[in-house]
Amino acid sequence: MLGGMIAACGGGTSAGTAGSTGSTGAAQIGGTVRFSFFGSVEEKAIWEKIAQQFTTATPSITMAPEHIPSDYFTKVQTAIAGGDAADVILMEDKPTAGYAKKGFFHELDSCISGDRSFKREDYFAGLQYRGKLYGLPQHWLAHAIIYNKELFRKAGIDSPPTNWRDPSWTWDKALDVATGPPGSL
């Protein structure tokens, strides 16, 4: 996916030959793409392996992973302000729109528009700003509460609401139900 986006965007590389034409007449993308990320030493090893696999599969593009083990968001913000941000930045979803609003992030729609395999509806809308896509999820955490409806019914407890915005089911209520009198569920 990343390779397709880089190729579709015509580069965005730190150094290289983005936009040169090969013998087939197709644009040849090349250079180095800096990728900053945070995480543990184990996560660092995973990202470095992914970068190496990408570079092996796409030899004209070198992925240069930049692990920032502490104060990540402060350092990324400083790099952006100083004009030295990585080409690809691992970012949490919440600040994405703010960075996009300030013009720090490049919208991806123009990059992915030529990729017929890309389905925008497959991705979380929170990585969008003003209808444009600014990020792709690395992973997404599914937050769910699973319960046995039959046990709730037998104990005379109402099921949690199906609308997550319903204020009648709070964390305190969930805790009370979960830790209720012995044998209640």
The arithmetic mean of pLDDT across residues 6-24, rounded, is 39
- pLDDT tens by residue, 145-181: 788 899 888 888 888 888 877 888 888 888 888 887 7
Q: How far apart are CA 180 and CA 65, in angstroms?
A: 50
Cβ neighbour number for residue 8 with a 10 Å cutoff: 17
The arithmetic mean of pLDDT across residues 28-33, rounded, is 83
> CATH 3.40.190.10 spans which residues of the chain?
2-133
Fold observed for domain 2-133? D-Maltodextrin-Binding Protein; domain 2 (3.40.190)
When pLDDT is cut at 50, 70 and 90, the band that residue 24 belongs to is very low
Highest mean pLDDT among 43-47, 93-97, 138-142, 152-156: 43-47
